[in-house]
Amino acid sequence: MSQLVAKVQALANQMVVAARPQLAEFWRYAKVELSPPLPADFQKLKKTATSTGSTKDVKAKLGKVRLGEVTVCEAWLNILVTVEVITWFYMGEVIGRRHFVGYKV
C-alpha cells in the first residue's frame, strides 16, 4: 500500500512540474486579457471612435432613412439582414430547447 501512495505522490509531483509553465503563461495572459477596462481605456476608445468618423456615417445613414432617401437596393439589403438575424435568433432558441415546439416536460 505504501508503494502505491509513493507512486501516486511521484505522479502528482510530475504533473505539477509539467503543468507549471502552462499555468504561468495562462496567468500572464489572464492578468492582461481578463482585467476590467480602466477609465483610460474608455477615453482611448472615445478618441478612436471620433477620429475614424464612424459616428458621422451612422448619423448620415439615419438621416437618409428619416428623409426617405433610401434606395430600393439598400432597403432590400436591410430587410434581408434583419430576416437573417431574426432567423438565427429563432434557430438558437430551437437548438437551446432541443425541440421545435415548446419544451419537453
Structural domain spans, the chain: 1-35
Could you identify the residue written with the cell 505539477? Answer: 16
Confidence at 9, pLDDT banded by 50, 70, 90: very high
Cα–Cα distances in Å, from 59 out to 54, 62, 75? Answer: 9, 5, 17
- Angle at the Cα of 87 from the Cα atoms of 82 and 89, rounded to 5 degrees: 100
pLDDT for the residue numbered 98: 79
The answer to whether the CB of 71 falls within 8 A of the CB of 77 is: no
Residues 71-105 pLDDT 10s:
888 889 989 999 999 999 989 988 888 777 776 66
Q: Is the pLDDT of residue 53 over 70?
A: no
pLDDT for the residue numbered 88: 95
pLDDT for the residue numbered 99: 77
Could you identify the residue written with the cell 499555468? Answer: 23
Instruction: Find the mean pLDDT for residues 3-31.
Output: 90
